[in-house]
Amino acid sequence: MLRNPRIRAKYENQLNPTPAGPAPAANAPAPPPVDRETEAKEAAVAIKRAARLLSSEMYWDAIQVLEPSVLRAVGKPRQEGRVLLARAYMKNVNWLKQGEELLQEVLKEDPKHAEACLLLAQIYRDQGLKARAAHMLRKAAELLPDNLEVRAELEKLTEQEPEAGSARSGLLKRLFTRG
């Protein structure tokens, strides 16, 4: 996610803010410390709001809410936010790579995240990467053994075309056998 220049710049500005004006006076009170717990709770609320935006097909608005929220969230809300952000990215072909990277990060932290597997399979399938898509669908099928849709999608993706296969083997057989 930090490979995105816009997000990285925002993240670096949060880490190293540039002074906007003159230095505060020596007797001025220090700014209150950032409460990480409060920040994480606010991020979780923002992620829930972004989920509603996403379900309303307001993808750009969801991205604007999710990008900063994912950086501040921790634990399960962070994973949920990353998956939602990847789903929003998937709506624009130019952002598929960012979505793929986010989903891979989710799987790195939680290899049993079924939705991330399914979304990666969808990305790979749409890009014509059948072997990768099948691998992700197998992983999802292991995680969701009762899900018939996943199994059907996997079968559809991995089934061989019998007519084309037999025609090729028949042609090869005729070419390479003595008759």
pTM to 2 decimals? 0.67
User: In this structure, are residues 125 and 133 in contact, taking their beta carbons and an 8 Å threshold?
Assistant: yes
pLDDT for the residue numbered 167 = 47
Please give the Cα distance from 165 to 78 (Å, whole number).
Answer: 46
- How do the domains of the chain map onto residue ranges? 1-11+36-110, 111-159
Taking Cα atoms as reference points, which of 109, 104, 159 lies closest to residue 136?
Answer: 104
Please give the Cα distance from 39 to 122 (Å, whole number).
Answer: 33
pLDDT for the residue numbered 37 = 82
pLDDT for the residue numbered 178 = 62
Query: Please, what is the angle between helix 114-126 and helix 130-143, to 10°?
Result: 160
As averages over each run of 10 residues, the pLDDT of the chain (179 residues) reads: 66 62 57 73 91 92 92 90 93 91 92 91 90 90 85 79 48 61
User: In this structure, are residues 133 and 124 in contact, taking their beta carbons and an 8 Å threshold?
Assistant: yes
CATH 1.25.40.10: does it fit domain 111-159? yes
pLDDT for the residue numbered 121 = 92
pLDDT for the residue numbered 32 = 59
Taking Cα atoms as reference points, which of 70, 74, 76 lies closest to residue 98?
Answer: 70
pLDDT for the residue numbered 39 = 85
pLDDT for the residue numbered 161 = 42
